[in-house]
Every structure is written in C-alpha cells, then in structure tokens.
Amino acid sequence: MPKIAQYRSQSVIYFEGDKSEKIFILKAGKVSLNHTDIETGESLRNRVEGGEFFGVSSALGKYPRSEDALALSDTTLVVLTATEFEEFCMNNPKLAINMLRLFSTQLRKIHSSVRSLMHDEHLSDPESGLYRSGEFYLAHQSYGHAVHALDKYCSAYPRGRFIKNAQEYLNQALQALGESPRFDSSSIKAADSNQRETLGAQLKEELETGKVLFQKGEFKSAGKLFKRILEAGVEDLDVENTAQKLYGQCLYETEEYQDAIDIISRYVQKNSTDAKVHELLYCIGDSYFRIGNVERAKLFLQRAQTLVRDDTTFQEKVKEKLSTIGE
C-alpha cells in the first residue's frame, strides 16, 4: 500500500547515488531536484509541481539516483514501491504514456550529447556499413543474412557508392540459396567495370592535383577538389581517406569550423592510428574554440597533448592555445 511521508523544511528526501526503489508523488509542500548538468557542469534546480511524480526512472531501472531531492518547506509525499507504481500505471495508461514521453525526451537528449563526444559510425556512414554487413555475411556463407542486407542496400541506395558490387553479391547469395538472380549480371559487369576504372583513375589524378594545391596553401580550390572526390563515391579506401583528411584541414584553414570539426572527426574515428592524429585533434580543438565551444575545445586540446610527449614545439603550441582559452 502507498504510504504517506512527512518531511521537515530543508530535509533531504534522497541523495544522488542512493539506491532505492521508492517513487514519490508531491502531495503538499515544496520539493527541489538538484543535479549537475553532465554537459556543462552547471548546477540545476528543478521544482516539482504538486501532484507530480519523481524518482521514477532510477527506481524502475534499479539504478542509483541521479539527483538530490530536497524538501524546501514542510512537505507531504505519497511513497510507492516500484511494483505499486506499475499497478498504478496499469489503471492509468495516460500517466504511463506521459511518463514514457518524458523518458523519451531525456533519452534523446542524452543520446545526442554522447554522440557529440563520440563519432558514431552507424550514423556517419550507414550506407557503407550496410554494404559491408552484406559482404561479411556472403564471405561467411550466411547467404540468407547476406540477401537481407544486400537487398536492403539495393532498395535504400539505388544510386549508392557500392550498388554494382551489391547487386552482384546479391545475385551470388541468391544463387547459393538456389534462387534465381535478381539482376542481369553480365550487364552489371560490362557496363560498369570500364566506367568504374576510368572514374577511379580520374579521381586519383584529382587527388594528386589537390595535394599540390594544398601544399601551395591554396586551400579553397584544393578543398573543392577533395569535396568532389568524396562526393563521387571513390572506391579506393586510401584515396577516400586521404581526401577526407585533407578536406577537413582545408575547411579548417578556410575557417569553416563547423564542417571542419565534422569531417576531421570522421577521419580520426576511422584512423585513430594516424601518426598525425594529434595535429588533427588540435584542429578540432581549435575549431571548437573559434565557434565558442570552450568546453569541447579544452577536451580535444588536452587529448592532443596527451598523445605526444616528445614533440616540444607541438606541446608549446597546445599550451599557448590552452592559455588563450583560459586554462
């Protein structure tokens, strides 16, 4: 049975980090939920409205409380166990739905925060991911799964970067299952392989031209070339990587910081062993600084710093930047 509990003004209902399966409803009085914003480090206070539930998420998920709950005046609360709360929801579907909506908003927010710190390959390049999954299953003779992945690829990306290979692999997988091929494979090959080779060679040449322009400091025109290479859907991974890395640096040099952050982060995520990764992290850090995101700027500069210990010139450069920021 739900119980009634009384709290004196200024007393603590629970502390952050406590584990408990109690859920509260504010009946009378004033309650404040205090927590530290994990992104900004700012202390936030939220007043609970009369009749509102609190402590739900931690009690249901059986996780430690993520905030302090304080009584601001003499307060009366209804206290439920997680099981009692569930019974309550069974009789009040509207409440359950509203609560779920609230959780969804919170979850979406924290998801996007996590994403901003970590480049998620599932979001950055789902096209190549789906294609590679198909390729993987085909190579491992899981033909049914290969058909699923490649079929989804072909319908989602009919003009995709890997479409010709995907069609061909899909045919192979279908054949292995004793089904008839979906695409006319002779025409896939003939029409495409020539065209593909010419395009590949052309993009390689453009990359070389881009490198020369980059060396000369002509970042605008070099950037345009790299962008085109990336958009053309180059198949040679080395070419793609080099183009991406240099394109990011061009954007940084031409002060398009937001795009620079995006492109360079993508590159770093895939190539964390690049010998120059500290320089790239520096570019990301400085870009954040230029767009006024000091927190993030510090984070990346400090990371760059921890990666190289023996390059004193670089260390100095980072130190100087950090002191400009006010660290």
Partner 1 sequence: MSLSSLDRFAVQYPKGKMIFCEYEISDSFYLIQAGRVQITKIIGSIEKTLDVLNPGEIFGEMAILEQAPRSASAIALDEVLLLEFTRQNFETLLVGNPQIAIKLMKLFSKRIYDQRRRFMILKLANVQARVADVFLMLSETTPVSDQNENRRVFMTTPADIAQWAGISPEECRIIINTFVSQGRVEVFQDKIVVNNIHDFSRFVSSQRNKE
Residues found near partner 1 in the complex (CB under 8 A) = 38-39, 56-58, 60-61, 63-64, 66, 86, 89-94, 96-97, 99-100, 103-104, 106-108, 110-111, 113-114, 117-118, 122-123, 126-127, 129-130, 132-134, 136, 140, 144-145, 148-149, 152, 156, 272-273, 298-299, 302-303, 306
- Any residues with CB less than 8 A from the CB of 50 and at least 6 apart, and which? 26, 27, 28
CB 266 within 8 A of CB 119: yes
CB nearer partner 1, residue 57 or residue 185: 57
CB nearer partner 1, residue 69 or residue 149: 149
Determine the 3-state secondary structure of 316 from DSSP.
helix
CB nearer partner 1, residue 143 or residue 247: 143
CB nearer partner 1, residue 61 or residue 158: 61
Q: Hey, which residues does 24 pair with through a beta bridge?
A: 54, 79
CA dihedral (233, 235, 239, 242) in degrees, to 10, reads 60
Minimum distance from residue 72 beta carbon to partner 1 (Å): 25
Minimum distance from residue 247 beta carbon to partner 1 (Å): 22
Please report, for residues 146, 154, 183, the alpha-carbon distance to residue 141 in angstroms, rounded to integers and kept in the order given: 8, 19, 20
Minimum distance from residue 280 beta carbon to partner 1 (Å): 14
Minimum distance from residue 291 beta carbon to partner 1 (Å): 19
Q: Which residue has the tokens 């006319």?
A: 184
CB 99 within 8 A of CB 53: yes
Minimum distance from residue 252 beta carbon to partner 1 (Å): 21
CB 13 within 8 A of CB 2: no
Question: What are the phi and psi torsion angles at 33 (to 5°)?
Answer: -105, 120
Asked whether the CA dihedral 251, 253, 258, 264 is positive or negative, the reply is: positive
Determine the 3-state secondary structure of 26 from DSSP.
strand
- Please give the DSSP secondary-structure letter assigned to residue 216: T
- Any residues with CB less than 8 A from the CB of 321 and at least 6 apart, and which? 282, 285, 286, 289, 301
CB nearer partner 1, residue 9 or residue 141: 141
CB nearer partner 1, residue 62 or residue 189: 62
CB 160 within 8 A of CB 231: no
Minimum distance from residue 95 beta carbon to partner 1 (Å): 9
CB nearer partner 1, residue 22 or residue 227: 22
Does an H or E element contain 27, and which?
strand 22-28
Minimum distance from residue 70 beta carbon to partner 1 (Å): 21
CB nearer partner 1, residue 186 or residue 323: 323
Minimum distance from residue 242 beta carbon to partner 1 (Å): 19
- Any residues with CB less than 8 A from the CB of 237 and at least 6 apart, and which? none
